[in-house]
Structure formats: C-alpha cells, structure tokens
Amino acid sequence: MANPRAAMLVIGDEILSGRTRDSNMHHLAGELTARGIDLVEARTVPDVHATIRDSVRALSEAHDIVFTSGGIGPTHDDITADAVADAFGAAIDVREDARAILTAHYDARGTELNEARLRMARIPDGAALIENPVSAAPGFILRNVHVMAGVPAIFQAMLASVLPGLTGGAPLMSQSLRIYRGEGDIAGPLRKMATDHPDLSFGSYPFQKDGVHGAQVVVRGTDAGQIADAMTWLSDTFGGDAE
C-alpha cells in the first residue's frame, strides 16, 4: 500500500517578499519522511483570502493530508482561519472553547483579551483544536487540513502534537555515499541501477569543497537490505565515503 500523500501551504507576504526565509516546510518534510508520509507538493502564497482559500481547496482535494503555516495571529493580515473556513463553506466565529483557552492565558498574565486577540479564537464550525503549548492560541484541523502557526517554535510544537495521530506508511530510509567523481562519470551506471531497482530511488547531488568535486549519491527506499546492497555495489564500483 502506498504511503499517504501530503502537501504544505506556506502562507505569508514576508516570505514572498524575501524578508523572511521559511523553515517550516523543511522541518515538516523531515518529520513526515521519518513517518512514511510523502510530502509531494508545497506552495507558498501571500496573505490574500481568495488565494489561500483556492489553494487550500485544491490541495485538500488532491492529497490525503494538508498542513498550512502562517496567518493565525491577532493582526489584520492574519486571515488564514477565515480563508480556510471559506474553502469548505464552513461558518466561522469566535468559538467558546478557544476563547476559554485564551481567557485563561491572558488572565494569568494580566493582559487584556481585546478585540484583536479575540480574533485568534475564530475557529471554523466542525474543526478540532490543535494545542499551542508556547503561546496558547490554538491551531485547528478542518477536514484533512491542519492549520498551524507561522512562528517556527509554535509550528514545531503544534506539529509534534498532531503527528502521533497520523497514520504513516513505511518510513523512507536513506543512506548516502560521497563519490569523488564527476556526476557525468557515474550517471550512466546510476541510471542502470535505478532501472534495475524500481523500489529504490537514486539521487545524485554534485558538490565542490576545497577544490575537490564529486557527487553525493543518496539511496532511498523502505527495505534496509535493498539499500545496503545498493550501497555496497556503489562503493565497490566508485569508491567514496559513506555518510
């Protein structure tokens, strides 16, 4: 049975302007791969209602699981929750369970739960909350879409609470070998290996370091024995250093 297929929607004007470099997608990718869930697409979009709505709808229909990051804070440009609700025709308003969480959090700090902060309690009808152990304001899950914060520490904490509930496939394992030959020299044999071993994938990534150039070959698969055999053949054929 094939692994579940996931997509990520990174939301934020500041990423598309180049001001901020996203780290959530890379983090998500590693966590999913380790659990046998294949991240098959990622999109980065601006804080625009229609764009978020349409992207969420498209990704939700095309893939098994969707994760979004960004746009669930208290300011006017935090519009993700409403856009996700719109994507599925769900009603959205301040919800009592989320309000209670925020009330407890801000009361304990003597901070006013003002109109702006209350926006973070806007949760679509039918959504389940995702706990935010860092700063209280919850994420949520609606249909197959997990809506989470953009701040990396909060995204990672929310993801950690969500992952145990997901059913993964066979974890994808990989091993790699640093080969001190040009990519062009190894490409022919590597292509043959890929054709002969359809259950493995072979990636080749050129490197250059201190005047030495070569290719890092990465063997990926779900069967440790197959991977080990492939690695043995590669190092017998090309030499190089296992990593």
Which residues of the chain form contacts with its own copies (CB under 8 A)?
13-23, 25-33, 38-46, 51, 73-77, 111-112, 114-117, 119, 151, 172, 174, 182-188, 190-191, 194, 201-206, 215, 218, 220
Task: Name the residue nearer to its own copies (CB basis): 167 or 201.
Answer: 201
For 49, the 3-state DSSP assignment is helix
106 or 128: whose CB is closer to its own copies? 106
Among residues 64 and 90, whose Cβ is nearest to its own copies?
A: 64
Site of tokens 């470099």: 21
The token pair at 79 is 């519009």
Nearer to its own copies, 102 or 127 (CB): 102
State the nearest-atom distance from the C-beta of 232 to its own copies, in Å: 20
95 neighbors 73 (Cβ within 8 angstroms): no
* CA atoms of 107 and 90, how far apart (whole Å): 30
CB of 105 to its own copies, least distance (A): 11
Q: Judging by DSSP bridges, how do beta strands 145-148 and 139-142 pair with one another?
A: antiparallel
d(CA 113, CA 209): 54
The C-alpha torsion from 67 through 161 and 138 to 84, rounded to 10°, is 20
Q: How far is the CB of 113 from its own copies (least distance, A)?
A: 8
Q: Which residues of 71-97 are buried (b: 16+ CB within 10 A; e: fewer)?
A: bbbeeeebbbbbbbbbbbeeebeebee
Q: CB of 126: closest distance to its own copies in angstroms?
A: 26
Tell me which long-range contacts 28-31 makes (C-beta under 8 A, separation of at least 24). Answer: 28/67, 28/159, 31/159, 31/163
The smaller minimum CB distance to its own copies, of residues 34 and 126, is found at: 34
Quote the least distance from Cβ 96 to its own copies, whole Å: 19
173-179/145-148 β-pairing: unpaired
Q: Looking at beta carbons only, is 90 or 226 nearer to its own copies?
A: 226
Q: How far is the CB of 92 from its own copies (least distance, A)?
A: 18
